């Protein structure tokens, strides 16, 4: 069997394993002291302090202990020296607020950026955020492939993206080769959710290209960033999707969300109550032409009863991939699914996968951006959180707090509106 939907002509090894080290550059302590002092005097609205020595003034949302974002996040002012060697100075364009970012701040996420004093903080601290689009505003003399004006994203998670400016080594960045026709939202959200959806669909099922349009994916959390990406990629690759969303307050609102997903290319959309109802088996039978079209992959970011119900619809020998746990309920599986249907239950974590497969990650990002340029991959709904030079830290932290609350109309997105 051949895998469907190979967008790139050149195959790249799934197993390539270039380890990348994460290093944050220390800023110049004297300059930090000078600049922080200077910042206490009022500046014209929207203006940023730039020192006569060419230091860039920056602000970063940092935390030095774990807890709820509104309790532990604070805005830290610091200065960034002119870049030298292979360093690149960046200005934030847009950075999303993903559930994992909040889990990381709460201290319940497996990867934890180290607490350091490199930004001149009194206590060792980490910069929050894992994803984002940045514009290059200056480069060191040794930088080879990145120039002022380029747009870049982080090569790995954990580099800290909720900051107005940053300075990083060229090797820690992925340059967007052709940013024409792309927005900061599209570039700033490409490396986590779409890559997760793409790899789960490609790497956990040997799709039968002879049966294009006759095989299915079932997924919960279908209106999440990952879910929306999965719908669009599956549509592009000739795979049908059965999508589960939670009911809204009114039938009209529920229908509106179902329609949104249908417009993206969802084949069928059902609610969580429908999924858990007695009638669901019959519905699946009908959707899949009396079971002639197998459901070969389940994508689970909810857990609990929802995950069990997804598993029950799978054809023998299929995979259920768990990549999130939004309900905080464990995945419980009837033994019969393992014994008689030989189902496989896997997990996927894009951070770990990306660290092991940096080149394939870059290729995957480029494929998604290519689809985006072609109008085949739509923007996720986003709620902009404007970050001006004078925006208060508590305002930014309050925007972060709602990320896990659910029933949101869009993903939070920091948009920096200050100057260079
Ligand atoms: N393993 C990985 O590599 C990886 C990568 C990316 C994301 N993820 C995980 O995937 C999940 C989705 O992330 P995202 O960035 O795509 O999310 P998102 O766009 O922020 O959307 C969150 C989703 O979670 C749903 N949700 C929230 N609370 C829920 C609950 N108690 N029960 C059921 N559904 C609930 C929301 O549904 P409503 O609209 O109904 O509230 C929404 O669909 C998260 O768990 C995230 O950590 C994992």
Kindly list the catalytic residues: 109
Q: Give me the residue label for tokens 């292979």.
A: 86
User: Which of 407, 363, 20 has its CA nearest to residue 199?
Assistant: 363
| Pocket flag, ligand 1, residue 313 (CB < 6 Å) | no
Q: Is the Cβ–Cβ distance between 305 and 276 less than 8 Å?
A: yes
268 Cα–ligand 1 center, Å: 19
pLDDT given for residue 13 in this prediction: 28
51 Cα–ligand 1 center, Å: 42
Phi, psi of 253 (to 5 degrees): -65, -40
Mutate which of 97, 195, 221 for ligand 1? The one with the most ligand atoms within 8 Å of its CB, which is: 221
Of ligand 1's atoms, which has the minimum distance to the CA of residue 193?
6
300 Cα–ligand 1 center, Å: 10
Segment 260-264 long-range contacts (CB within 8 Å, at least 24 positions apart): 260/223, 261/222, 261/223, 261/227, 261/228, 261/231, 264/228, 264/231, 264/232, 264/235, 264/378
| Pocket flag, ligand 1, residue 189 (CB < 6 Å) | no
How many residues in the chain? Answer: 420
Q: Which two tokens stand for residue 305?
A: 């009863």
Of ligand 1's atoms, which has the minimum distance to the CA of residue 353?
3
| Segment-wise mean pLDDT, segments of 10 residues, the chain, 420 residues | 35 28 30 32 47 84 97 97 97 97 97 96 97 98 98 97 98 96 98 98 95 96 98 98 97 98 98 98 98 98 98 97 97 93 96 97 98 97 96 95 86 89
pTM, entire model: 0.89
Mutate which of 227, 299, 326 for ligand 1? The one with the most ligand atoms within 8 Å of its CB, which is: 326
Q: Which domains does the chain have, with CATH numbers?
A: 56-189+380-416 (3.90.180.10), 193-351 (3.40.50.720)
| Pocket flag, ligand 1, residue 243 (CB < 6 Å) | no
Q: Give me the residue label for tokens 């954990």.
A: 158
Number of C-beta neighbours around residue 306 at 10 A: 22
Q: What is the 3-state secondary structure (H, E, C) of the chain?
A: CCCCCCCCCCCCCCCCCCCCCCCCCCCCHHHHHHHHHHHCCCCCCCCCCECCCCCEEEEEEEECCCCCHHHHCEEEEEEECCCCCCEEEEEEEEEECCHHHHHHHHCCCCCCCCCECCCCCCCCEEECCCCCEEEEEEECCCCCCCCCCCEEEECCCCCCCCECEEEEEHHHEEECCCCCCCCHHHHHCCCCHHHHHHHHHHHCCCCCHHHCCCCEEEECCCCCHHHHHHHHHHHHCCCEEEEEECCCCCHHHHHHHHHHHHHHCCCEEEEHHHHHCCCHHHHHHHHCCCCCCCEEEEEECCEHHHHHHHHHCCCCCCEEEECCCCCCECCCCCHHHHHCCCCEEEECCHHHHHHHCHHHHHHHHHHHHHHHHCCCCCCCCEEEEEECCCCCHHHHHHHHHHHHCCCCCCEEEEEECCCC
Q: Which two tokens stand for residue 7?
A: 């967008």
Contacts (Cβ under 8 Å, ≥6 apart) of 337: 311, 312, 314, 343
Of all protein residues, the one whose alpha carbon is nearest to atom 36 of ligand 1 is 406
Of ligand 1's atoms, which has the minimum distance to the CA of residue 96?
15
Mutate which of 406, 409, 410 for ligand 1? The one with the most ligand atoms within 8 Å of its CB, which is: 406
Segment 356-362 long-range contacts (CB within 8 Å, at least 24 positions apart): 356/15, 356/16, 356/17, 357/14, 357/15, 357/16, 357/17, 358/16, 358/18, 358/20, 358/155, 359/12, 359/13, 359/16, 359/18, 360/12, 360/13, 360/14, 360/16, 361/191, 361/195, 362/174
User: Which of 336, 352, 293, 341 has its CA nearest to residue 319?
Assistant: 341
| Pocket flag, ligand 1, residue 226 (CB < 6 Å) | yes
Q: Which two tokens stand for residue 368?
A: 């998604």
Our CA angle for 184, 387, 104, nearest 5°, is 80
222 Cα–ligand 1 center, Å: 9
| Pocket flag, ligand 1, residue 223 (CB < 6 Å) | yes
Number of C-beta neighbours around residue 241 at 10 A: 27
98 Cα–ligand 1 center, Å: 8
328 Cα–ligand 1 center, Å: 11
pLDDT given for residue 403 in this prediction: 86
pLDDT given for residue 52 in this prediction: 57
């Amino acid at each position: 069997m051949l895998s469907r939907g190979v967008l790139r002509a050149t195959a790249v090894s799934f197993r390539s394993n270039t380890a990348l080290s994460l290093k944050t550059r220390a800023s110049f302590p004297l300059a930090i002291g000078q600049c922080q002092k200077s910042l206490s005097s009022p500046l014209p609205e929207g203006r940023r302090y730039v020192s006569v020595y060419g230091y860039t003034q920056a602000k970063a949302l940092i935390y030095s202990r774990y807890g709820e974002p509104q309790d532990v996040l604070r805005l830290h002012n610091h200065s960034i020296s002119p870049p030298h060697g292979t360093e690149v100075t960046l200005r934030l364009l847009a950075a999303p607020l993903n559930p994992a970012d909040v889990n990381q701040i709460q201290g319940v996420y497996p990867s934890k950026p180290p607490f350091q004093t490199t930004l001149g903080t009194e206590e060792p601290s980490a910069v929050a955020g894992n994803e984002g689009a940045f514009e290059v505003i200056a480069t060191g003399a040794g930088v080879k492939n990145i120039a002022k004006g380029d747009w870049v994203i982080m090569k790995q998670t954990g580099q800290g993206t909720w900051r107005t400016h940053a300075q990083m080594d060229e090797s820690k960045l992925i340059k967007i080769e052709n940013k024409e026709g792309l927005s900061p939202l599209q570039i700033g959200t490409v490396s986590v959710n779409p890559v997760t959806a793409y790899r789960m669909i490609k790497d956990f099922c040997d799709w039968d290209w002879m049966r294009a349009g006759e095989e299915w994916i079932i997924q919960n959390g279908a209106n999440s960033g990952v879910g929306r990406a999965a719908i669009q990629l599956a549509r592009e690759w000739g795979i049908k999707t059965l999508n589960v969303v939670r009911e809204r307050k009114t039938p009209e609102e529920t229908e509106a969300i179902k329609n949104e997903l249908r417009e993206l290319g969802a084949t069928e959309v059902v609610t969580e109550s429908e999924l858990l109802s007695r009638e669901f088996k019959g519905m699946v039978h009908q959707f899949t032409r009396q079971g002639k079209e197998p459901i070969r992959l389940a994508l689970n970011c909810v857990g609990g009863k929802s995950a069990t119900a997804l598993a029950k619809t799978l054809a023998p020998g299929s995979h259920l991939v768990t990549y999130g746990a939004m309900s905080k309920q464990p995945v419980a599986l009837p033994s019969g699914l393992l014994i008689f249907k030989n189902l496989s239950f896997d997990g996927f974590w894009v951070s770990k996968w990306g660290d092991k497969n940096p080149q394939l990650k870059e290729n995957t990002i480029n494929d998604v951006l290519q689809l985006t340029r072609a109008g085949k991959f739509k923007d996720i709904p986003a709620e902009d959180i404007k970050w001006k030079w004078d925006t208060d830290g508590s305002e930014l932290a309050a925007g972060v707090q709602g990320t896990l609350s659910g029933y949101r109309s869009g993903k939070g997105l920091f948009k920096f509106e200050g100057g260079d």
